[in-house]
Amino acid sequence: MKVALDATPLVSDTGGVPRYVRELRRGLEGLESGDQFVYLTDQAMPGAIGPRGGWLERKWWLAGLPMALRREGVDVFHGTDFAVPYVRVCASVLSLHDLSPWMDAAWHGASVERVRQRTPWLLKMGLATMVLTLSEAVRRQAIVKFGLNPARVAAVPLAASATLRPVTVAPEVEPYFLYVGTLEPRKNLPMLVAAWRAVRANHRVRLVLAGRRREDGPQFESADGLEVLGPVPEERLAALYSGALAVVYPTLYEGFGLPVIEAMQCGAPVVTSRDESVVEVAGGAAVHCDALRVEEWVSVLARATEDQGWLAELRAKGLVRSAQFSWARTARETLTVYKTAERIHRGIV
């Protein structure tokens, strides 16, 4: 079986979707299943198959991509970011990472308008043979939102990079809470900063924010103990996670919540929201607070500065929980979805 993955998200070096695409292909090739995996995109990208030229192929999703799929003899196309070809050429799998484009308009700018308009149409027309979500929570939401056949929607979880492991770091003069992720409205960071400021009034603890700030992301006035690092190289993440007093992730909504598993895999205690997907992923190994109740976060964060025994229990639970996720598992379960889609396309299922 020949599988083509949409490599378009890889034009960005950071973010969850590019990491998903890279790790998934690496995991698929590591299975040694005998199947072939290639990248397809209309973007200039080394190692990826693209259009051969001509005005027609420049209409990528309508004509160029279907032509490339036929030319390359692809059996399954994986649309890794909310899209599949507009013409049915082979089996297709559409990754629906979450439903945020159709929720709060303040969470996204104009950049998601194409997704907001196009994806429901693709689903309504049945152009996706299978739909792939990252959690059972989003799977249920998608079935209801778009009226999908439950048999055609599969949930396959993500995993943390194998490079993320507990590492020994020098003790900090002042401990810190750590947030890792994009600085954007959906992550609820103003609430987190407000809660931290209240805790900081009585406890010498810093707040470190690590991640790219999106154009519409919050900005904070400089304050003693608040550190905004910006994008962090992957090789620094293990030390950042391992050294944190606790990792804080107050998100309003997630499709999965990868930083939760990354933190646990590094042995960091996790305090996060009660979002349905995050609760599913954490599996009882994190502390959950109401995303909108600042006083609840203040109470939990204050306890984290005082109760080392409690933090040790959370670390132990997190390590056990994170061991249940791996990119080998993600790849194996995704390959099963590909095979199901290919059988459906051939009329076997």
Model pLDDT for residues 67-77, shown as the tens digit of each residue: 999 999 999 99
Residues above pLDDT 70, as percent of the chain: 100
Give residue 110's pLDDT.
75
pTM, entire model: 0.94
Structure tokens at 330: 């993600």
86-98 as b/e: b if 16+ CB within 10 A: beebbbbbbbbbb
Each residue of 18-51: pLDDT tens digit?
999 999 999 999 999 999 999 999 998 999 999 9
304-331 as b/e: b if 16+ CB within 10 A: bbeeeeebeebbebbbebbeebbbeebb
Give residue 321's pLDDT.
98
- Strand stretches in 134-225, DSSP E: 153-155, 176-180, 206-210
CB neighbour list of residue 125: distance below 8 Å, 6 or more residues apart: none
Q: DSSP label at 209?
A: E
| pLDDT greater than 90 at residue 66 | yes
Give residue 12's pLDDT.
82
| pLDDT greater than 80 at residue 262 | yes
Average pLDDT value for residue range 209-216: 93
Give residue 56's pLDDT.
85
Confidence tier at 172 by pLDDT (50, 70, 90): confident
Cβ–Cβ under 8 Å, residues 81 and 9:
yes
| pLDDT greater than 80 at residue 232 | yes
Exposure of 199 in the CB half-sphere (CA atoms within 13 A): 28
Give residue 87's pLDDT.
95
Each residue of 191-212: pLDDT tens digit?
999 999 999 999 999 999 999 9
Average pLDDT value for residue range 134-147: 98
Each residue of 322-338: pLDDT tens digit?
999 999 999 999 999 99
Q: Is residue 150 classed as helix, strand or coil in its secondary structure?
A: helix
Structure tokens at 73: 């003899």
Average pLDDT value for residue range 250-270: 98
Confidence tier at 16 by pLDDT (50, 70, 90): confident
Give residue 69's pLDDT.
97
Give residue 111's pLDDT.
73
Backbone angles phi, psi at 226, to 5 degrees: -100, 120
Cβ–Cβ under 8 Å, residues 182 and 18:
no
Tell me which residue of 264, 269, 86, 259 sits closest to 179, measured CA to CA: 259
What structural domains and CATH numbers belong to the chain? 2-158+327-345 (3.40.50.2000), 176-322 (3.40.50.2000)
SS3 string, 214-253, reads CCCCCCCCCCCCEEEEECCCHHHHHHHHHHCCEEEECCCC
Give residue 231's pLDDT.
92
Tell me which residue of 231, 262, 168, 263 sits closest to 12, measured CA to CA: 231
Each residue of 101-129: pLDDT tens digit?
999 988 987 778 999 999 999 999 999 99
CA-CA distance, 272 to 178, in Å (whole number)? 11
Each residue of 273-329: pLDDT tens digit?
999 999 999 999 999 999 999 999 999 999 999 999 999 999 999 999 999 999 999
Supply the mean pLDDT for the chain: 95
Q: Is residue 78 classed as helix, strand or coil in its secondary structure?
A: strand
| pLDDT greater than 80 at residue 349 | no
Confidence tier at 53 by pLDDT (50, 70, 90): confident
Backbone angles phi, psi at 177, to 5 degrees: -90, 145
The full DSSP string for 301-346 is HHHHTT-HHHHHHHHHHHHHHHTT--HHHHHHHHHHHHHHHHHHHT
Give residue 259's pLDDT.
97
Give residue 15's pLDDT.
76
